[in-house]
Amino acid sequence: MAIFRLNIPVLDQIKQKGLRPALKDKWVDLVTRVTAGLSPNDVRGVLRDDAPGRPNPRLTPHAEGFWLHMKPTYYHRMVDGFYPTFRLGWLSTFFGVFEIVTGVLLMVYYTPSPLVAYENMLNLLGNVPFGQILRDLHRLAAELMVIVVVLHMLRTFITGSYKKPRQFTWATGVVLLGVTMVLSFSGYLLPWDQLSLWAVTIGASMVEAIPPEVVGRSVNLLVRGAPEFGANGLLRFYLLHVVALPLAGIVAFGVHYYKVIHHGHSLPPEAEKVGEDTAKRVPMDSRVYFMPQIMTRELWYVSGLLAILFGAAAFLYHAPALEPHANPLITPLHTTAPWYFLWVQGMLKIGDKVVWGLIVPGLLTGLLLVLPYIEVGPSRRYGDRRIGLSLAALFVAAMAMLSFMGTPNYAVSTSPDQEAVAELLPQTRPGPLRSAPWEDLAFGSYVATAWGAAPNATLQDLLHEFYNVLTNVQSADRTNVAGVMVIEDWQTDLKKVTLRVTWTNVANGSAGEFSQSVYLHRNSNYGEGA
Using CB under 8 A, list all residues that contact another protein. 47, 49, 115, 118-119, 122, 125-133, 292-293, 296-297, 299-300, 302-304, 306-307, 310-311, 314, 324-325, 490-494, 496, 517-525, 528, 530
**Residue (402 or 520) nearer to another protein, CB:** 520
**Residue (244 or 295) nearer to another protein, CB:** 295
**Residue (134 or 337) nearer to another protein, CB:** 134
Side-by-side strand order, sheet with 511-521: 444-447, 478-491, 494-505, 511-521
CA-wise closest residue to 412 among 528, 325, 333, 506: 333
Long-range CB contacts for residues 444-449, cutoff 8 Å, separation at least 24: 444/486, 444/487, 445/484, 445/485, 445/486, 445/487, 446/484, 446/485, 446/486, 446/487, 447/482, 447/483, 447/484, 448/482, 448/483, 448/484, 448/485, 449/482, 449/483
**Least distance (Å) between residue 328 CB and another protein:** 11
Question: Which helix (H) or strand (E) is 344 found in, with range?
Answer: helix 342-348
**Residue (147 or 494) nearer to another protein, CB:** 494
**Least distance (Å) between residue 102 CB and another protein:** 14
SS (H, E, C) 262-310: HHCCCCCHHHCCCCCCCCCCCCHHHEEEHHHHHHHHHHHHHHHHHHHHH
Residues 232 and 225 sit within 8 Å (Cβ to Cβ): yes
**Residue (305 or 371) nearer to another protein, CB:** 305
**Least distance (Å) between residue 128 CB and another protein:** 8
**Least distance (Å) between residue 305 CB and another protein:** 8
**Least distance (Å) between residue 522 CB and another protein:** 7
**Least distance (Å) between residue 525 CB and another protein:** 4
CA 275/CA 379 separation, integer angstroms: 6
**Least distance (Å) between residue 303 CB and another protein:** 4
**Residue (453 or 530) nearer to another protein, CB:** 530
Residues 433 and 462 sit within 8 Å (Cβ to Cβ): yes
**Residue (301 or 339) nearer to another protein, CB:** 301
**Residue (307 or 396) nearer to another protein, CB:** 307
**Least distance (Å) between residue 326 CB and another protein:** 10
CA 410/CA 126 separation, integer angstroms: 37
CA 466/CA 485 separation, integer angstroms: 9
